[in-house]
Structure 1
Amino acid sequence: MRVHILDDWFDTLRGLPSFAQLDGHEVTIWTDHVTDERVLSDRLDKAEALVLFRERTPVTAGLLQNLPKLRLISQRSVYPHVDVPACTQHGVLLCSNMHSDTPSHAAAELTWGLILAAMRQIPQQMASLRAGHWQMGVGKTLRGRVLGLYGYGRIARAVAGYARAFGMEVLWWASDDGRARALADGEAVAESRAAFFAASDVVSLHVRLKPATRGIIGPADFAAMRPGAVFVNTSRAGLVQPGALLAALNAGRPGMAALDVFDAEPLVDATDPLVSHPNVVATPHIGYVTEDELDLQFADIYDQINAYAAGAPIHMINPEVWTG
């Protein structure tokens, strides 16, 4: 099959062991990011299978109508960036392994790294040292403090394990179902949403972005946080109401934020008010960007391509397209 891979910005995939799974296919890798659908249409005109690098490029009805040879889109995890009805209309099968039984350890590890970086002021202390000023302030010890985890999912539970190893208390908030599962597992659940934000020294958000969760964090939540608390988001920026975090930081509640996700990505504006905020530790959406995690994810993606080529597709999201 003629396979095109989008948005492999650092040309990483061909150097991973899993890439050998595409032997026998005609593979084209695009290492830049293109937003113009006319340019994308020209590039992908002969593509039979399209590999998506997470949510970096939306697949719209307008793009699909210009790709007459496309038969398969292969990706991993959730797909809010893909117009599934349009895929079905144009006879394009979407396959996505939802990996419901495994957490992203890479994302959990980065979350913990951001918590450490924010609480110990690691980026600011490094900048001060390099500027010849030695120490610039006093950080906070994690042991004995409260980590509030919003969302009772796989990544949050992995982060909880790290927190306990560091001697932190773990407090939970989630949907009604998530809180019920946490209680059934013997976990500590806050008495109320306001109590959760007020009691936590660190609040880390671990919720999938979908219509029901968009903007679930707002001004009242931030206002309940302590001036010395840290808000961490390695999930999706859209979970926070637009402008609410910046306003909260400027008001001093919470005192700091640690972010891996932004409303517009890739974000290359160094003057962005969150990126440049003195009380923000920020990384460029690298939660899942490790060699190990990418090899795991793309092995699943390539499996889907090979299964389709063999006439037995797997992980079909719109199976009505498949006629055998």
Structure 2
Amino acid sequence: MKLVIIEPLGVEEEKLMEIAHKALPDSVEIVSYQTKVTDTESLIERGKDADIIMVANLPLNAEVIKGCKNLKMLAVAFTGIDHIAMAACKEQGITVCNCAGYSNAAVSDLVFGLLISLYRNIISCDQVVREEGTKDGLVGFELEGKKFGVIGTGAIGTRVAKIAQAFGCEVYAYSRTVKDLPGIQFVGLEELLYNCDIISLHVPLNESTKGLIGKDEIALMKPDAVLINTARGPVVDSEALAEALNNGKIAGAAVDVFENEPPVSKDHPLLHAKNLIATPHVAFATKEALVKRAIIDFDNVKCWMEGKPVNVMN
């Protein structure tokens, strides 16, 4: 059995191999690539003999999937699988497993880091101090008492909602599945957008969520509302959001995700919008989270080899 780690997973090689050997029998041949390639030909060359490929957020198209003739299992070291050609995996009979749960704490942490940066003008405050300025024009807002809207109440959305409660926020939620979460009121999407001061997105990217927040939805938001997107870029219409920010229709936004993985083009409309904080898809990336996902991913391989697959996405 051959396992190919087709791109770096953000964990030191020695630690990664320690996790691997703890989970898997010695009979598994492990090849680990510490450089990243993106072209189809190179990816096929790396994976052509692999029974199992381990990948993070590197896109694997149908040609790559079909070009890896021995491939039987794809161990995705990520929560989302929208970068994987799932139809090709189904056609080839390839089992796809993800690493749900590894970044719950990391993403939730960044949501509030971004939110407080917006609410307290932290970036502008830093700049003005360096320019011998004062707090004039930089008086911010408190979280306590604000109406906090969570769109998508999976593990991360639920954690964000609970943290918002700890800050003293009044929490509302919109999700296709209504849950019994103490102190959290489930409402329709329009009602949430209309009433909430803060809106945080936590939905996967699929046909039903692509463009979920567009021009019409943004128009429902309060002029002093802020939007946080640590979910997936295409969930939001970037041009509509940039227009709303530049025209003062909403107060601010923080975006960790775009239509494509960074580097993001300098011409992207959001990078020229007012009152926007951008980060390079870093929400999941903490030292602790990357180790957690490696442990989960190798455990996924172990369970699949034992005929008891877990975290199966197809």
Q: Normalising TM by the smaller chain, what interval?
A: 0.7 to 0.9
Deviation at 1:70, TM superposition (A): 2.4
Deviation at 1:189, TM superposition (A): 3.7
Residue by residue, what CA displacement relative to the aligned partner does 1:197-252 show, whole Å, maximum 9, x if unpaired? 23221111121221112111111221222222211011111111352211211221
Instruction: Confirm or deny: 8 A CA contact 2:243 2:273 kept in the other structure.
Output: no
1:161 aligned onto 2:158: no
1:284 aligned onto 2:280: yes
1:202 aligned onto 2:187: no
1:187 alignment counterpart: 184
Q: Residues 113 and 220 (structure 1 numbering): CA distance in 2 closer, same or farther, change over 3 Å?
A: same
1:27 alignment counterpart: 30
Range with greater deviation from structure 2 (118-127 or 85-94): 85-94
Q: How does 1:121-270 map to 2 (within 5 A)?
A: 121-135=121-135, 137-175=138-176, 177-178=177-178, 181-182=179-180, 185=182, 187-190=184-187, 193-270=189-266
> Structure 1: where are the runs of 5+ without partners?
320-324
Q: Could you tell me the TM-score, scaled by structure 2's length?
A: 0.85
Residue by residue, what CA displacement relative to the aligned partner does 1:250-278 show, whole Å, maximum 9, x if unpaired? 22121110111111112343453323534
2:105 alignment counterpart: 105
Q: Distance in 2 between matches of 1:231 and 1:77?
A: 22
Instruction: Confirm or deny: 8 A CA contact 2:246 2:274 kept in the other structure.
Output: no
Q: Residues 161 and 137 (structure 1 numbering): CA distance in 2 closer, same or farther, change over 3 Å?
A: same
Instruction: Confirm or deny: 8 A CA contact 1:304 1:313 kept in the other structure.
Output: no
2:45 alignment counterpart: 42
> Structure 2: where are the runs of 5+ without partners?
none
Instruction: Confirm or deny: 8 A CA contact 1:21 1:303 kept in the other structure.
Output: no
Q: Distance in 1 between matches of 2:152 and 2:10?
A: 32
Question: In structure 2, the residue corresponding to 1:274 is in which secondary structure?
Answer: helix
Deviation at 1:12, TM superposition (A): 4.2
Q: Residues 271 and 21 (structure 1 numbering): CA distance in 2 closer, same or farther, change over 3 Å?
A: farther
Q: Residues 165 and 92 (structure 1 numbering): CA distance in 2 closer, same or farther, change over 3 Å?
A: closer
Aligned Cα root-mean-square deviation (Å): 2.8
Question: In structure 1, the residue corresponding to 2:270 is in which secondary structure?
Answer: coil
Q: Residues 318 and 277 (structure 1 numbering): CA distance in 2 closer, same or farther, change over 3 Å?
A: closer
1:52 aligned onto 2:47: no
Q: Distance in 1 between matches of 2:22 and 2:267?
A: 42
Q: Residues 32 and 172 (structure 1 numbering): CA distance in 2 closer, same or farther, change over 3 Å?
A: same
1:322 alignment counterpart: none
Aligned mate of 2:95, from 93, 100, 103 = 93
Range with greater deviation from structure 2 (102-111 or 219-228): 102-111
Q: Percent identity?
A: 28
Deviation at 1:306, TM superposition (A): 2.7
Residue by residue, what CA displacement relative to the aligned partner does 1:89-114 show, whole Å, maximum 9, x if unpaired? 33433233555xx8812211111111
Q: Could you tell me the TM-score, scaled by structure 1's length?
A: 0.83
